Amino acid sequence: MSRLPVVILISGGGTNLQALIDAARDGLPVDIRAVISNQPEAYGLQRAQQAGIPTVVLDHREFETREAFDQALASLIDSYQPNLVLLAGFMRILTPAFVRHYQGRMLNIHPSLLPRFQGLHTHQRALDAAEKEHGASIHFVTEELDGGPIIIQARVPVLPGDDAARLAARVLEKEHIIYPLAVRWIAEGRLSLNSAGQVVFDNQVLSAPMDLDKVDS
């Protein structure tokens, strides 16, 4: 099987990036052509460099407008000719033009059971809402923040005595499973977004997100 060319965008520590790097080493059919960060100090850059992956810093603070940054970012991404762009803790709200450019070719991971708790501080918000379960979602990126069509979710129970850090750690373990899984499905031609904005898996339109506990990878 030919390897799917991907570019990964990060802003921080890059644990999901590491999960993807590890999965690629273990047979995930992707070619990680570059890791791009808007933060020069992002530890994820070191993770990529240690794996021999090209890294680039594109500091958003050097651009006068969000549009100018996104235009430069798109040009940089496209120079690597990826078939898929992966947001892995990339902490930027993307402009509509940028999102449209990668329609159906860009995934994001979000630490909640979307559509619950879009945005930031999801773990504390889940605790504050007395949720019984929490989790993570992989979705196609659209112009609505954290609102694109959801591919797969993984659930964890909210346990007595949980704080945000403990809950986040359990969710993160699931994130590291579902992101490489969704990428594998795209690489294998099993997963796509159709022209109506619906998730298609094994030639079937999904009526609801897949649940990690119920899928046969």
Report the catalytic residues. 110
Q: Which residues contact 104 (CB under 8 A, 6 or more apart)?
A: 140, 192, 193
What gap in Å lies between CA 24 and CA 4, rounded to an integer?
10
CA 139, chain centre distance (Å) = 7
Using alpha carbons, select from 176, 182, 135 the residue that is nearest to residue 15: 176
Q: Which residues contact 24 (CB under 8 A, 6 or more apart)?
A: 30, 31, 32
What gap in Å lies between CA 122 and CA 125, rounded to an integer?
5
Whether the CA torsion 121, 127, 130, 135 is positive or negative: it is positive
| Degrees, nearest 5: CA angle 12-93-176 | 45
Using alpha carbons, select from 190, 7, 199, 186 the residue that is nearest to residue 88: 7
What gap in Å lies between CA 29 and CA 42, rounded to an integer?
26
Using alpha carbons, select from 173, 179, 177, 174 the residue that is nearest to residue 191: 179
